[in-house]
Chain A
Amino acid sequence: MSKIITALALLGFSALALAADAVGATEKQATNWHAIVMFCIFVALTMGITYWAANRTKTTADFYTAGGGITGFQNGLAIAGDYMSAATLLGLTAMVYTQGYDGYVYMLAFFAGWPIILFLMAERLRNLGKFTFSDITAYRLDQGKVRTMAAISSLTVVCFYLLAQMVGAGQLIKLLFGLDYNIAIFAVGLLMMVYVTFGGMVATTWVQIIKACMLLTGGTLVMVLAFSQFGFSFQTLLEKATAVHKLGPKLMYPGSLLSDPVTAISLGLGLMFGTAGLPHILMRFFTVSDAKEARKSVLYASGFVAYFFNVIFLMGLCGILIVGQNPEFFEGGTIGGKLIGGGNMVAMHLAKAVGGNMLLGFLAAVAFATILAVVSGLALAGASAISHDLYARVIMKGKATEAKEIRVSKIATICLGFVAIVLGILFEKQNIAFMVGLAFGVAAAANFPVLILSMYWKGLTTRGALFGGYGGLISAVAFVVLSKSVWVDVIGNKAAIFPYTQPALFAMPIAFLLAYIFSKSDSSVRAGKEIEAFEDQYVRAQTGFGASGAAKH
């Protein structure tokens, strides 16, 4: 039986995050009516927005990027909504609950990529890109070949991430709402298709904004109610928590999680630069009008993310006492035994303990909304790779009409939705904890190196970009397949061939090196022209002159 732990690990960014607590739970819970009513309100609201958005989605720019008309503040909320998944709320709270300080360290790794994205990438992305990040990598290189490569690695990231979210969503909804796994998968898949097909980026953005507000409100409410029981004193909270926790004083001490430096660095690189290579996150930078708003987006997004991580830290610590010392939340009523619903239910139990069934219902609805917001963003990014990159630019060579391109992207969304539903059902009982790690690994090793080189290094040629991109893609996939999480846990071999679980530290240098060697040794006439074309691209990247602006409505 697949475990809820696995499910949540998928929702989060790494299997490692939850490896510590391997308590499984698959039993369907009693139907949670508070949660279902609140979730229905959310769906009704977002459907209303989708209907409104559908009338405003006419051109390709509307569909892919909401016409560039999102403000920096709105986009900041949407990015936070896109970035913080259900596992951020549930998985990380549980991690602080069991591991204390280690969970907090993990959160910094999720956060630290954002300043880097702002300093080195945000404005160049906005100045050079239009709909997808391949617009930037293919800016002065061979459109057909480079876009195909970028679309393949984008789709790889999107598919693994989407599948991981779907399976996790099914498990989570079964647990929180008491719904059947297959019904949950269909509900998520169908709602996602409706949002994206009818409302495009406008609807997706608003789903993410609403979800981010719900997440921030719900989390803050639970934290304040819980923390008030300790008189808002961190000292009191920690004194009591360390007194009862099985780690004792070691609760606030670096534990085993990051004790191996190679894994720690590789994980840090993967989270930091994987974030900077996720197609659905990069796409959000094209929804604002100019570089100024793009910068503001990161400022707001990183502010919300940093704030929320600290809220989660406090929630986890409060949970140690409020949940961990209450027999009501343990199976058979034995404190220290198995938590009802599994280790990741700490946040939910905490909500129930401090706010009753209403708050529990609200938080469960937030978790469902969170999944929808993340899968919608992924579906849109995947559909745009198919319609904008592969169909309009590679197959039709830029001659497709806007209406046709939109139609293809809608068909692509529906196909992706069905693929996600079918795979979600097929993979219900599989151990697919490696998939999010793989998605981040591919994003960091295949997308990020070529993207950053195309913006910063004059010497990058088509040949270098192709070798770097495909090299990063293949090596990231190979390292994950040969690592313990697939080679041993999925295929069933005795020992892993590749000794580390995180591929970034090894796959990223391969991508950069290949891109460098094959660009440097490329003496073709085309390469010369591509290098020459960097000059104009560089001025545009720096000044934003000639960048695609906001569409007028």
Chain B
Amino acid sequence: MSSAMYEHMRTNPKFQELVRRRGRFAWTLAIIVLTMFYGYILTIAFNPTSLGRPVAEGSMLTIGVAVELFMFIFFWALTAYYVWRANNEFDAMTQDLIRDAWKENK
């Protein structure tokens, strides 16, 4: 039964659409996180002085601390964005796909 259902889903163009859309979205976000994180680590290793400067004249807050606080918030916001889109848009597409497959299976 399952295998037939999987076959129906695989051949449904909606499946290709779901996989393409979600895959592109997930990888884009992942690449943003990886690039920022390893970029930050490499900056610390190769150009630490740039992160030690204050954000403004007389401020004790350095660029490094500000950038990192931003990353904590930004990465979490990206997870929230992913969860929101996946739990609405992608899950709806998935439900639709499974319904189609049941119909075909009858």
Residues of chain A whose beta carbon lies under 8 Å from any beta carbon of chain B = 101, 104-105, 108-109, 111-112, 114-116, 118-120, 123, 234-235, 238-239, 242, 250, 252-254, 258-261, 264-265, 268, 272, 291-292, 295-296, 298-299, 302-303, 306, 309-310, 535-536, 539-540, 542-546
Contacts and interface: CB of A to CB of B under 8 A. Distances in A.
B75 A112 contact: yes
A111 B65 CA distance: 15
A247 to B, nearest CB: 11
Nearest 6 pairs of A and B residues by beta carbon: A238-B60, A254-B48, A253-B52, A261-B45, A539-B6, A119-B26
Contact of A101 (B15, B37, B64): B64
A535 B6 contact: yes
Contact of B9 (A250, A303, A545): A545
Contact of A264 (B34, B44, B52, B97): B44
Interface of B: 2-3, 5-6, 9-10, 15, 18-19, 22, 26-27, 29-30, 33-34, 37-38, 40-42, 44-46, 48, 51-52, 59-62, 64-65, 68-69, 71-73, 75-76, 78-80, 82-83, 86-87, 91, 94, 97-98, 101
A306 B72 contact: yes
A543 B16 CA distance: 11
A109 B72 CA distance: 10
Contacts of A112: 33, 37, 71, 75
A264 B69 contact: no
B99 to A, nearest CB: 11
Nearest to B76: A306
B79 A542 contact: no
Given A120-B26, A120-B30, A105 B98 contact: no
18 contacts: A114-B79, A115-B75, A115-B82, A116-B30, A116-B34, A118-B83, A119-B26, A120-B30, A235-B61, A252-B52, A252-B65, A261-B46, A302-B79, A535-B10, A540-B6, A542-B18, A542-B19, A543-B9
Nearest to B64: A101
Contacts of A239: 60
Contacts of A250: 52
A272 B65 CA distance: 21
B69 A118 contact: no
A540 B48 CA distance: 46
A261 B42 contact: yes
Contacts of B22: 542
A259 B43 CA distance: 10
Given A116-B33, A252-B52, A268-B38, A292 B44 contact: no
Contacts of B64: 101, 105, 252-254
Given A259-B45, A265-B42, A542-B94, 10 more contacts: A105-B68, A115-B78, A116-B30, A119-B26, A254-B52, A306-B75, A310-B69, A540-B6, A546-B5, A546-B6
A118 B37 contact: no
A216 to B, nearest CB: 15
Contacts of B78: 115
B51 A268 contact: no
A235 B51 CA distance: 17
A309 B65 CA distance: 13
Contacts of B9: 539, 543, 545
B51 A254 contact: yes
A108 B68 contact: yes
A105 B43 CA distance: 12
B67 to A, nearest CB: 10
B6 A545 contact: yes
A245 to B, nearest CB: 12
A264 B41 contact: yes
Given A252-B52, A302-B79, A545-B98, A536 B41 contact: no
Contacts of A259: 44-45, 48
A303 B40 CA distance: 21
Nearest to B10: A539
Contacts of B48: 253-254, 259
Nearest to A539: B6
Contact of A260 (B45, B83, B86, B98): B45
A531 to B, nearest CB: 15
